[in-house]
């Protein structure tokens, strides 16, 4: 099998993606798919999100991580559960 190489500059943007299916203001390129690389089982794409979506995703991830850390630090049952599991494993 010979290696497959591609370049973003050579790959056209996908047209006709529906906002109803979640493709809102995104630029999508399929680098590896059936058409470009004769791939039956692998699709590799590159999606460029608009700046406002990048900000929303970053903000949401930061809030989620903050919430998870707070839950881990402030919830005694989580810490106790982890400690008891570790203690049982060590015996």
Domain match, 42 and 59 both: no
Domain match, 87 and 77 both: yes
Q: How many domains does the chain have?
A: 2
> SS3 for 31?
strand
Domain match, 36 and 63 both: no
How confident is the model over 16-74, as pLDDT tens digits?
988 888 888 888 898 888 888 888 888 888 888 777 767 777 778 888 888 888 877 77
* Percent helix, percent strand, percent coil in the chain, to nearest 5: 55, 10, 35
Domain match, 55 and 91 both: yes
> What is the residue range of 66's domain?
50-91
Q: What is the pTM of this model?
A: 0.49
């Amino acid at each position: 099998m010979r290696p497959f190489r591609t370049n973003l500059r050579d790959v056209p943007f996908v047209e006709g993606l529906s906002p109803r299916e979640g493709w809102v203001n995104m630029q999508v390129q399929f680098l590896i798919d059936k058409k470009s690389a004769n791939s039956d089982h692998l699709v590799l794409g590159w999606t460029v999100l608009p700046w406002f979506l990048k900000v929303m995703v970053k903000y949401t991830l930061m809030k989620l991580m903050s919430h998870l850390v707070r839950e881990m630090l402030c919830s005694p049952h989580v810490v106790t559960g982890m400690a008891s599991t570790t203690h049982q494993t060590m015996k």
